[in-house]
Structure formats: C-alpha cells, structure tokens
C-alpha cells in the first residue's frame, strides 16, 4: 500500500568534495590571523589600513546612530518641555504665594497704622471712646449709612459722634442689641457745625448724598475761605466734641449773581473704607445756673 521512501545522503557527492578539508582551512586561516596579529603588534604595519577602514566606516556608523539619536532627542525634548511646564507652574505658584503674603503684610501694616492712630485719638481725647468694627455699609443708594458690631454689654448711645483715624465719620443714630447704625456725614442734608481751622470762622457743613461732596452753605462770597482750608468740629451743638477734623475745602466758586459762595468739601475720614471706628461719648454739657428765688432774694435785701 505504501511506497518506498528513499533517503537522500547527508554528505555531498564526491564531485563537490574538491580542495582542502574544513579543518585544514580553519587551521590555515587561524595561523594566518596569528601571524598578522604578531606582525601588527610588532611592527604596526596595519595601522594605516586600520585608519583607512575606520575613516571609511565612520559615516556609516554615524548614519546607523541617527535613528537612535533622533529618538533620544525627541524624548529629551518632551522631557524638557514637561520640566519647563512644571517649573513654570511651580514658579507661578510661588509668585502667587509671595504676592499674597506681601499683600497680607501690607494690609497688616496698614491696619496697625490705623489702630495706632485710633489709639492716639483715644489717648488725646477728653471724652470716652469705644472701639467698634464696621460690619457693612448700607445697601440703599439713597441713604448713606454704615453698620457697626455691638456687644450686648457695650453702652452705645444714639447721637454719639463716630470717628476713624482720619476724622469725623458720622453720628450714631440707632442702637440695636447686636449692631448700631451710623449716619455718615455725606447723608443728604445731614448738618455738622464746623469752623475753619485757619480763621476760626463758623459755618454749617451739609451732606448732599451719594457721589456728591458735602458743601458749606450760607457763606458770603467775600468770606475768607480758600481751597485747602481744614474744617473742624466747633462743638457749639453739644453733640460733637470740638476740634475733630471733618473735611477739607475742595473748591470755592464765587459768582456776581449770588451773595453766597458755592463751597464743596471733601471729607477727611474714609467714609466708605473704614473698618475700625471709635464711638465718642457726648460732651458733658455745663449745668445751667438755677434762677434765684424772688422771695429769698427780697428777704436777703431786707436783711441788708
């Protein structure tokens, strides 16, 4: 059923077995190699051949290295780019932190300066002063108000003057258990009796509402009033202690048609920027001398 399988001989035919055997050839070339190595080591006869071959093969070696160098350059490029991004992000974060620290330090310094000035006011004031923190400003654009925090045991009284480190801020108008309301001097028609520091001339300063400077009213056109004059509280109303800075005259306009000058004044206090204020007690009013009794006076005259 099955055909016979003929196995081919593993050895080549005798026709191809010409020349020396492989062992003989290996021995011959081995001896030649040893001889060349000895001659080269002894007399350096193949140095020129070696240099020539190295010079010819060098460009081929460099060309073979180009793909690996290109891949390495690409990897280094991406690594460098990522490192630059990380360094840039880290430097930005450090700059932001330094900026925040600088701003916090500046804010702390300004706060310390304001508190120091408030402390000077307390030490030089002849009336009792209570410190309070401004919680927020009034949200009504037609009403110039501010609200301060109040402790339950803090004795605040409506009508008290409120100042910051720069000057008069306003007047305490309402007192609640947890907060109190301040009417600012910029409130429309809010009046403060003042005097000019340079001339001691008395006048009334009226607020004109949001976005407008207060003004001195009923001041004659020929009055000695100049831009830059400082206005102080005159204390003639018994509400504000005397000699507190209120405003500085910003402009004076005189016209022939009017007998009164138009005088705009810029408040010295930070009307919309104060965060710590002092609430001053009302000045102690002098007790009027009681009227003499008529009968007692007549009896005294008879005795004389």
CATH number at 127-285: 2.40.10.350
Q: What is the mean pLDDT of residues 69-89?
A: 82
Distance (Å) of CA 101 to CA 68, 89, 91, 97 = 49, 18, 15, 6
CA 104 to chain centre: 7
pLDDT at 291 over 60: no
Q: 130 forms bridges with which residues in the sheet? A: 279
Distance CA(207)–CA(286), nearest Å, equals 29
Distance CA(194)–CA(216), nearest Å, equals 9
The predicted pLDDT at position 4 comes to 61
Token reading at 273: 């920027």
Domain boundaries, the chain: 19-78, 87-120, 127-285
- pLDDT of 5-37, one tens digit each? 555 555 555 555 567 788 888 888 888 888 878
Token reading at 19: 């020349």
Count Cβ neighbours within 10 Å for each residue of 205-244 and write b for 16 or more, e otherwise.
bbbbebeebbbbeebeeebebeeebbbbbbbeeebbbeeb
Burial of 249 (0-12, 13-18, 19+ CB in 10 A): buried
- pLDDT of 237-288, one tens digit each? 778 888 889 999 999 999 888 899 999 999 998 888 778 888 888 765 444 4
CA 205 to chain centre: 36
Mean pLDDT of the chain: 80
Q: Which residues contact 40 (CB under 8 A, 6 or more apart)?
A: 46, 47
Helix (H, G, I), strand (E, B) or coil at 46: coil
Q: Three-state SS string across 59-82, please?
A: HHHHHHHHHHHHHHHHHHHHHHHH
């Amino acid at each position: 059923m099955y055909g016979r399988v003929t196995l081919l001989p593993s050895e080549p035919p005798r026709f191809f077995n010409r020349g020396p055997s492989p062992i003989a050839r290996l021995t011959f070339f081995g001896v030649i190699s040893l001889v060349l190595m000895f001659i080269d080591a002894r007399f350096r006869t193949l140095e020129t051949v070696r240099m020539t071959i190295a010079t010819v093969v060098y460009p081929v070696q460099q060309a073979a290295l180009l793909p690996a160098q290109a891949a390495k350059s690409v990897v280094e490029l991406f690594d460098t780019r990522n490192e630059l991004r990380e360094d840039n992000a880290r430097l930005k974060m450090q700059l932001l932190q330094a900026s925040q620290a600088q701003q916090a330090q500046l804010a702390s310094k300004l706060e310390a300066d304001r508190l120091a000035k408030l402390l000077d006011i307390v030490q030089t004031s002849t009336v009792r002063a209570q410190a309070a923190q401004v919680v927020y400003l009034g949200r009504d654009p037609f009403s110039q108000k501010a609200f301060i925090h109040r402790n339950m045991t803090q004795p605040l009284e409506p009508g008290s003057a409120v100042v910051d480190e720069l000057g008069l801020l306003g007047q305490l108008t309402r007192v609640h258990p947890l907060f109190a309301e301040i009417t600012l001097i910029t409130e429309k028609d809010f009046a403060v009796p003042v005097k000019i520091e340079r001339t001691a001339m008395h006048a009334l300063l009226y607020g004109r509402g949001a976005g407008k400077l207060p003004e001195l009213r009923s001041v004659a056109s020929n009055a000695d009033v100049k831009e830059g004059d400082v206005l102080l509280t005159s204390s003639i109303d018994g509400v504000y202690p005397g000699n507190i800075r209120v405003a500085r005259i910003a402009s004076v306009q005189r016209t022939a048609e009017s007998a009164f000058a138009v005088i705009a004044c810029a408040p010295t206090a930070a009307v919309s920027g104060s965060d710590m204020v002092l609430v001053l007690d009302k000045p102690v009013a002098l007790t009027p001398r009681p009227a003499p009794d008529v009968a007692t006076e007549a009896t005294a005259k008879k005795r004389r």
